[in-house]
A = this chain, B = another copy of it.
Amino acid sequence: MITTRITELLGVQYPILQGGMAWIADGKLAAAVSNGGGVGIISAMNADVDYVREQIAICRSLTDKPFGVNVMLMSPFAAEVAEVLAEEQVPIITTGAGSPNAYIPRWLEAGSIVIPVIASVAMAKKVARAGASAIIAEGGEAGGHIGEISTMALVPQVCDAVDIPVIAAGGIADGRQAAAAFLLGAEGLQLGTRFLVATECDIHQTYKDKVLKAKDIDTITTGKRLGHPVRALKSPFSRRLFQLEYDSTVTNEELEELGSGSLRRAAVDGDEQEGAFMAGQVAGMITKEQSAAEIIQEMFAEMETCLRGATKCLR
């Protein structure tokens, strides 16, 4: 049994969140993770409030455990979604792609626990001052939209800078990495890539197969020129995008336009040519499909073994 400020704050058995991945993290996956003892997160992505309400209803029909919704702050619907989450009294709200500070008072008033995803010390301090309940410090080895600093370098620097509990994300797929994250100072974990192959995750099988077959070097980062890097598995699309970034006859607007819809093409259509199969650098370690509950149990059993053996090199 593991007890940290995160298990106590969230009222869950295991201090683990499933990342709020657009086109992937729906009410069904979130419920499976929450039923497994962690915290499932629904991605509000660029969707309107009807979609978000619908996924919350699906999740609530499948679990009575705490769950969350991730607000993508650059979404055109972000403000409306923010209000709906308060109305729905969603237990946990995570945020990405910007500063959630404008919404934090309303969410706290509604009784939600607010956990922004951050990628730097400055942003960690900023959201902590605004009343965030905890933070997710996400390293650049994660999949999808990422920051620059790795989990190993970021987590201790963030832990030194804020008093609220820190959840580590990026580079975590097994119990060794979970144990390492705890020694860096984290009190919880967020996993994305490993939950891509959860049996309850309804992405296209091609996407799952690409994760299962990936090697360590099989991810690529695009979008650096635009200032918002994205990590995905190598594919004809992602390799082409990488090259085009270095072609200064291609405008930033053209690059943005090329990226548009590419994650949907991966997750929904399984389009091996034109899809952006977002995944973290740990894809190379993921070799089997399991239920969300099995993933969580296996991860924490391994982590416990690892922590109990931590002193074996000391004599």
Given contacts A2-B313, A247-B248, A307-B314, contact A152 B170 (CB under 8 A): yes
Whether B148 pairs with A151 at a CB distance below 8 angstroms is no
- In-complex Cβ contact of A314 among B149, B176, B225, B304 (8 A): B304
Within 8 Å CB of A99, what residues of B? none
Given contacts A177-B184, A311-B307, contact A246 B225 (CB under 8 A): yes
Whether B179 pairs with A153 at a CB distance below 8 angstroms is no
Whether A285 pairs with B156 at a CB distance below 8 angstroms is yes
CA distance A221 to B148 in the complex (A): 9
Whether B149 pairs with A281 at a CB distance below 8 angstroms is yes
In A103-155, the 8 Å CB interface with B consists of 120-122, 139-141, 148-154
Whether B284 pairs with A157 at a CB distance below 8 angstroms is yes
- In-complex Cβ contact of A120 among B156, B170, B217 (8 A): B217
CA distance A177 to B180 in the complex (A): 8
A164 within 8 A of B: no
- Count copies of this chain in the complex: 2
With both chains docked as a complex, state the minimum distance between the C-beta of A296 and any C-beta of chain B, in angstroms.
16
Most B Cβ at <10 Å: residue of A121, A217, A282, A315: A217
- Range class of the A interface residue count: 35 or more
Within 8 Å CB of A282, what residues of B? 153
Within 8 Å CB of A224, what residues of B? 224
Whether A149 pairs with B183 at a CB distance below 8 angstroms is no
Within 8 Å CB of A184, what residues of B? 176-177, 180
Interface string of A31-53 (1 = CB under 8 A from B): 00000000000000000000000
CA distance A72 to B219 in the complex (A): 27
- In-complex Cβ contact of A216 among B121, B151, B248, B314 (8 A): B121
A1 within 8 A of B: yes
CA distance A282 to B154 in the complex (A): 8
With both chains docked as a complex, state the minimum distance between the C-beta of A38 and any C-beta of chain B, in angstroms.
16
- In-complex Cβ contact of A172 among B149, B152, B170, B179 (8 A): B152
With both chains docked as a complex, state the minimum distance between the C-beta of A247 and any C-beta of chain B, in angstroms.
5
CA distance A107 to B179 in the complex (A): 37
Q: Which 4 A-B pairs have the closest CB atoms?
A: A152-B171, A310-B310, A153-B281, A180-B180
